[in-house]
């Protein structure tokens, strides 16, 4: 896929685009349920929107491919999710609003629990509170000895998650994870995945050994697991590509990280979903593009909580009139991927989408759900095609060719 011609066709405009992204929105029918989560939910406002929109289904990456949240969001924002696939470490660093440089190597950290034999007993250290996490990060930074010529950062993310950043010349990210992805075994040493990365592997292993000693008397978080080593590279921003001033109204570090990497302004974290809609209202005159991210559809899906996911959808449905009242030139409602509660995980199934705009070619879809949207006028598309449609309906793309 290549949509780079959009960059040359994009123009400035006063028009507004709102992307309301319900994480993991797509679902499946489950035993004893009368359809998918979206079909079962009472969604009069979303259904009314669907009736006056063009609807369809989006494949996040390729049919059959289950995406992580990073690539799924890149695709929604019009970035090739394979070309722009970035390591977890970089996403995590961006999520805690750390300014990465091109000399930085980042990894996602889990605090974990080891038993007396050095085997992992809990890969998340009982999900320690964020305050404890911050305290441990400070302890590590106070005691660690970093080799001459390098800088080291260790930043709390949320609960048991943190970010490891090593800054210096010539660092490589072809490194294996230390997270064994199971309990009952010890953490793995970092291995160089190509010869040039050996020096970096040695440096990281030395730092991890020091951290083990620093944490040895802590409980339950007496060790760390590292994964997703990645070096930073810079991305063309949405401002550069599409001439959009963007505001991200997202409360979870991961999504804030993606938004930051693409040059969006980050709204401060808000208390709940209604506050996110309030933030949209208050800032509506100041930006062109709004990314409003609702996390809990995905969370309840991953919990296997069908009814809980239905409730989140219904809560968002009740807030829909607030965004409709703002009357953006383009309103898109969709998800980044499916998280069927029957699977308790992300899945590859396509995600329903609606696009409301004065220029939308309204189809016959009357309900906003996975099955009704099959008959929609947008058809089944790669998610990456969405941004071009949004820009066009916002009057932000000039004609291609004479």
Applying CB under 8 A, which residues contact its own copies? 2-3, 5-6, 9, 28-29, 36, 57, 61-71, 81-82, 85-88, 91, 108, 228, 340, 343, 346-350, 359, 361-364, 370-371, 374-381, 385, 387-393, 397-402
Q: Considering beta carbons, is residue 78 or 187 the nearer one to its own copies?
A: 78
- Minimum Å gap between C-beta 136 and its own copies is 23
Q: Where are the beta strands (DSSP E) in 287-370?
A: 289-294, 330-334, 351-357
- Minimum Å gap between C-beta 135 and its own copies is 26
Q: Where are the beta strands (DSSP E) in 86-222?
A: 104-114, 120-122, 151-156, 161-167
Nearest-5° angle of CA 386, CA 387, CA 391?
A: 120
For residue 214, how many other CB atoms are within 10 A of its CB? 18
Q: Considering beta carbons, is residue 61 or 155 the nearer one to its own copies?
A: 61
Q: At 45, list the tokens.
A: 């406002």
Q: Considering beta carbons, is residue 132 or 370 the nearer one to its own copies?
A: 370
**β-pair partners for 339:** none
Going from the C-alpha of 210 to that of each of 157, 200, 203, 352, the distances in angstroms are 21, 16, 11, 48
- Minimum Å gap between C-beta 284 and its own copies is 23
- Minimum Å gap between C-beta 327 and its own copies is 18
Q: At 383, list the tokens.
A: 């998610």
* Residue 387, CB-side half-sphere exposure with 13 Å CA sphere: 26
Going from the C-alpha of 125 to that of each of 153, 159, 179, 266, the distances in angstroms are 21, 9, 13, 30
Q: Considering beta carbons, is residue 300 or 393 the nearer one to its own copies?
A: 393
Q: Considering beta carbons, is residue 214 or 288 the nearer one to its own copies?
A: 288
Q: Considering beta carbons, is residue 155 or 394 the nearer one to its own copies?
A: 394
CB 292 within 8 A of CB 252: no
């Amino acid at each position: 896929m290549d949509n780079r011609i959009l960059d040359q066709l994009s123009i400035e405009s006063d028009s507004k685009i709102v992307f309301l992204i319900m994480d993991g929105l797509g679902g499946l029918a489950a035993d004893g349920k009368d359809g998918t989560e979206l079909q079962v939910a009472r969604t009069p406002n979303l259904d009314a929107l669907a009736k006056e929109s063009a609807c369809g289904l989006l494949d996040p990456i390729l049919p059959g491919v289950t995406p992580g949240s990073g690539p799924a969001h890149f695709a929604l924002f019009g970035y090739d999710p394979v070309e722009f696939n970035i390591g977890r470490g970089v996403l995590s660093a961006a999520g805690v609003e750390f300014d990465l440089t091109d000399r930085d190597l980042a990894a996602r950290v889990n605090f974990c629990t080891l038993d007396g034999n050095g085997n992992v007993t809990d890969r998340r250290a009982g999900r320690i509170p964020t305050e404890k996490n911050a305290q441990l990060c400070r302890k590590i930074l106070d005691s660690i000895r970093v080799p001459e010529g390098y800088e080291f950062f260790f930043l709390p993310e949320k609960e048991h998650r943190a970010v490891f950043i090593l800054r210096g010349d010539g660092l490589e990210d072809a490194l294996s994870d230390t997270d064994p992805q199971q309990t009952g075994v010890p953490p793995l040493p970092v291995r160089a995945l190509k010869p040039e990365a050996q020096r970096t592997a040695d440096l990281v292993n030395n730092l991890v050994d020091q951290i083990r000693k620093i944490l040895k008397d802590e409980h339950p978080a007496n060790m760390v697991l590292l994964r997703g080593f990645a070096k930073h590279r810079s991305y063309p921003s949405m401002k550069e590509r599409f001439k959009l001033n963007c505001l991200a109204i997202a409360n979870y570090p991961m999504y804030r990280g993606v938004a930051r990497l693409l040059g969006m302004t980050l709204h401060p974290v808000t208390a709940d979903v209604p506050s996110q809609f309030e933030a949209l209202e208050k800032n509506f005159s100041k930006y062109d593009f709004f990314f409003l991210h609702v996390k809990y559809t995905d969370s309840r899906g991953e919990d296997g909580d069908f009814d809980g996911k239905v409730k989140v959808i219904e809560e968002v449905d009740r807030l829909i009139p607030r965004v409709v009242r703002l009357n953006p030139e383009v309103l898109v409602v969709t998800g980044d991927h499916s998280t069927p509660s029957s699977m308790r995980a992300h899945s590859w199934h396509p995600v329903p989408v609606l696009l409301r705009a004065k220029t939308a070619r309204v189809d016959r879809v009357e309900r906003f759900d996975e099955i009704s949207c099959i008959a929609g006028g947008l058809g089944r598309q790669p998610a990456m095609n969405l941004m071009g449609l949004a820009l066009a309906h916002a009057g932000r793309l000039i004609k291609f060719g004479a």
